Structures are given as C-alpha cells and as structure tokens.
Structure 1
C-alpha cells in the first residue's frame, strides 16, 4: 500500500468557509481518475465546511487583501480560494 494525495480547490463566494462554492478543481494523485475532474456543472460540495465534514483537510486559504481605493468594483481573479487535501491508500508501489 502507498499513500497518494488528492487535492480539492474550492473558490467560495466570501472568505467564510460556510459560504457557497462558486468554482472548483479536483486533482487526483491516485490515478483512479483523470488528473483533473470537473466535468460536472454541480460543485462537489455546497460550501467548504461540507468538504471538511467529508474528511478533506484544509491546508491553505487565500490571503485577504483589501482593494486599492477606487478599485473596489474592478473584476479580477476569484480571491476566496481554499485548498484541501486527502491522503488515500492505493495499491501502487
């Protein structure tokens, strides 16, 4: 048996872990699925707390940076990004 990492990236509506998921990516280091799985229009979880309840471990959250004065309404990247991981046992050597 060998441990492999699965990574889940959730983009939330706000900086709160219980806010709605607005975007996501899944990376599976076990080789059981394609490197990224995102072929569904439905997020894997409604919010970040649900991922924690399902055994995902939070290991990084986006730094909260206030907008520059006068730029409060500019569009940009999704700033409420949270990285989760699971370590999964596989038969790989």
Structure 2
C-alpha cells in the first residue's frame, strides 16, 4: 500500500533556495506517532534541497505586502511551503 508523507518547511524568504527556519513532518507510511521537536537540525537546508530529494511542492504561501522591520515584529512564520512524497507504507 502506498501512503502520503507531508513535509512543511518554513523558509527565511519566499525563495525555495532560502534556508529553512522551522519544519514539521507528517508520515502516513508508518503508524508510529510523530514526536515534535525531536530533531535539532532541519531535514534539508533549503526547500530546493527537498525538491532534489524527490519531494513535490503542493502549496506555497501567498506573498502579502509587509511594512516595517520584520525582524522586530512578532507574528506567524510567513514563508510556508508544503511538500509531499508518496511511498510504500509499513504494515
């Protein structure tokens, strides 16, 4: 049986070759529950690296006009990219 894996990367900018600042993964190929925060390093340095490893982009965040110095404003992570991979599931 084939199942879907989702990888959500938050990038430094809207460009796929910018560095990953945060991430999460959901793995439908296994029944093992995900453990948030169990890795110190992102799975890829950039979104482009994920593409090179076979992940497919299924959603990119919309760009909205920003004002001021973003480095000093609290808020959400703006540059979210959702990737998917279809792999064999572990029974």
Bin for the TM-score computed over the shorter chain = 0.7 to 0.9
Aligned-pair RMSD on alpha carbons?
A: 1.6
Q: 5+ unaligned residues in a row in structure 1: which ranges? A: none
Query: Deviation at 1:38?
Result: 4.1
> How high is the TM-score relative to the length of structure 1?
0.85
> Counterparts of 1:13-52 in structure 2 under 5 Å?
13-31=12-30, 33-36=32-35, 38-52=37-51
Distance in 1 between the 2:35 and 2:57 partners?
19
> How high is the TM-score relative to the length of structure 2?
0.86
Change over 3 Å in CA distance of 1:30–1:83 after alignment to 2: same
Q: 5+ unaligned residues in a row in structure 2: which ranges? A: none
How many residues in Structure 1 have an aligned counterpart in Structure 2?
Answer: 88
SS of match in other structure, 1:49: helix
Flag as ranges the 4+ runs of structure 1 deviating above 6 A. Answer: none
CA contact (8 A) 1:3 1:90 kept: yes
